[in-house]
Structures are given as C-alpha cells and as structure tokens.
Amino acid sequence: MKEQIQAITNAYKERQLAHFHHLHAHPELSFEEYGTSAYIKETLTKAGVTLADGIHGTSVVGILEGSEPGPTIAFRADIDALPVEEDNDLEYKSTVPGKMHACGHDSHTATLLTFAELLAEHRDLIKGKVKFLFQCAEEKLPGGALGLCEDGAIDDVDAVYGLHCSALIPLGEMLSNEGPNSACIGIYEVKVHGKGGHGSSPHQAVNPVPAACALASSINQILAEKASPLEKAVFTVSYINGGQYPNIIPSDVTLGGNIRTFNNELTDELFKQLKNFCNGICAAYGCTCDVTTTVGYPATINKPEETAIVRSAIEGMGYSWHSAEPALGGEDFSYYLLKKPGSFFSVGMQDPDKVATAAPHHNCHFKLDQRGLLIALELELAIYLKELERR
C-alpha cells in the first residue's frame, strides 16, 4: 500500500504546493474567509467535487461518491488565519497587513483540497462517500465546527478525521493518542457589586474590592474540592479590574479567567460550584455578584478504533508514530467527536536543520517545512484506504 499511495500522491506535489502558497499569501480572519471560501469552491467545482447545500457562512463541504457501496468518511481542514503581522522572508509571504497563517491552517486546507482533487481523479478508490469539511473559524468562538454540526454536515458520517501540522514536531514524526487530546475550555467572569463611596467613609459604602480579592485568592479551592487528584485541570484567575482613584471606593469590581479540563462533565460541575462559591463569599462581604460562564470548546476525545487506524496509517507509510500527551489548549474538532467517532492527530513539519530557531504557533516567524505537506497528503489517503479495509 505504501508504494501505491506514494506513486499516486507524488503526482500532486506541485499542485498541493501551489494551493499552499496561494492560501498563505491571502490570509483571512475567522468568519471573514470569503476569498478563501471562493477559492475552495472554485477548485472543488473544477475538480468535479459536489458542493453540499445548506452550509452557512464561509465554510464549504465537498462530496464525492463512489460507484460501490461503502461508508461515509469525513476529513476536516480549518481555513482561518490569525491577526498577526508576518515577519518571514518568503516568496509566498502574506500580502495582507496584520494577517497571517500563523497556525498552519493553510497547510491543512491545501492538503485537503489536493486530497479532494486526487480522489476526484481516482474515483475507483472510493467506496461509499467522502466528505471534505473546509471549516471556518477554528480560532474564534463559538467555532466553525459547531456551525457545520448544526448544518447537518456530519449527520450521515461514519467516521471523521482531522490533522494539525506542527512546526514544533520534527519532520516525519506524528503524534496521536486515544482518549483526551485537547482540553475543554471554560471561561468565566464575576462582577462583584457593592456600593461606591468616599475613601474617608468606608462605613457608608460597601467595598467590593475586598470581596473580589477574597474570591481571587481562594477560587482554586473549588478545583481542589471537586476534581479528582488524578485529573489534569487548571482553574485560573486571569484578570481583576476595579477602581481608579485612592479616595473613591468603586461600586463594582470584575474578575475572570478560565478553566481547562479533559472532562466535559467536570467543567459543568466546576461552573455550578463557582456560582455557589461566589454568591456565598460576596454575601459575607455584604456584596452581590453576577457570574457569567461560557464553554469555549469541549474536550477533544479521540476514539480507540479510529486512533488505531491513524497509527496504522502512519506506521504503514514508514513514519514515526509517538503517543501524544494531552494538551490543555482547545480545538473545536471536539464538536465532531461529540457526534461521531473519529480521531485528531498531529503531523510534524519542523525543519530538522532549523530546530533551534523554530517559532511556535501564533508567532510572526511561524513557518512549516513544506516537505511535510506531501506526508500529510499521504496520510489522508492512507487513513481512507485503511477505513475501507475495516468495513
């Protein structure tokens, strides 16, 4: 299978690079990917890929059907860029001031576009249906994956796969894992209400500052009491704002932060306890409060069977597989995995000769080793063929 896959994908190397260069040079921010969406639609239509109806916003879903019955397998690429000014000397450098593909989404999109073209020209490889999910706004809440799920894009899907190209993982090395891959992100804000007054007469006011300070210094106790000691989780107070002058007691103080866990149910429980905790402490200081909570993205939980297919595809292509340590970052691919089985994995694209100067994601110097693009394409085809083998 390795030789067959490489023989097919090598013919698409230049086409994939051309897509990558175009997308990198024309970045667009979350929910604003109009030109990117148009480019995707034009490419898919030219290749003979059907565009799904009923998809809202800037996301695009392509569909290919084979002549034989089989499963419906979906592959996802996120298409949005970041508000970062690129500082790389590249022929295909961003042409848009203040915007850059600084997280590799251009590589994801170029790979999936090329994969769609490849299968459109090798329909004999298809059994059942393949869906290509070009998803907007991974970088901005509520996330484009949620919208595609609401549009029914994966209702008929049997399994869904996503990859993330990494500038911090060596070229030719891949990371995947069964179970939690990225965290559930909980965002909270507490507005503490008191009664403003003159600094010389605190007895005539109800000072919200001590109440807010008490909350900020003790809020982590919720995690200690409600989470198992074996859970990996953080409960952070990230900001506290209130008051401006030494002789004015403010009426309100606001504080907030985030919770990150690998357990969606635990996040819900922590939010519930947060509201009780804040109401109790504020009442003790004679204050009231409003607590606002938002789930950013749920935890991404990879399923065992699909993760085994990812590993088999990686090793079958002769690349190095490593078990990934779950990361407390967020990823809206999680929404797909709440509905359907699937797996999310990382593809190493760090230049082995430039390890010391490799920039992290979301950095103005972020850069991928372009040799990794063909590897990503090989793996998408290998995963698809492995899926057909098991059904």
Which residues participate in catalysis according to the annotation? 80, 138
- Least Cα distance to 377 among 172, 114, 173, 162 occurs for 114
Question: In the structure encoding, which two tokens stand for residue 69, read together?
Answer: 């019955």
d(Cα 111, Cα 93) in Å, to the nearest integer?
A: 19
- DSSP strand pairing (184-193 vs 252-261): antiparallel
Tell me whether the omega of the peptide bond preceding residue 142 falls within 30 degrees of 0, making it cis: yes
Residue 55: phi and psi, rounded to 5, are: -95, 120
348: helix, coil or strand?
strand
Distances (CA, A) of 123 to 47, 110, 129: 12, 20, 10
Cβ proximity of 51 and 61 under 8 Å: yes
Other C-beta atoms lying within 10 Å of the C-beta of residue 40: 28
- DSSP strand pairing (179-182 vs 173-176): unpaired
Other C-beta atoms lying within 10 Å of the C-beta of residue 97: 8
Alpha-helical (H) ranges within the chain are 2-10, 13-25, 34-47, 105-121, 144-150, 208-218, 221-226, 264-284, 304-316, 334-339, 371-389
Distances (CA, A) of 39 to 79, 95, 115, 212, 323: 11, 16, 15, 50, 35
d(Cα 113, Cα 85) in Å, to the nearest integer?
A: 26
- CB burial class (10 A; 0-12, 13-18, 19+) of residue 121? middle
Which residue matches tokens 């796969």? 161
Residue type, 262: F
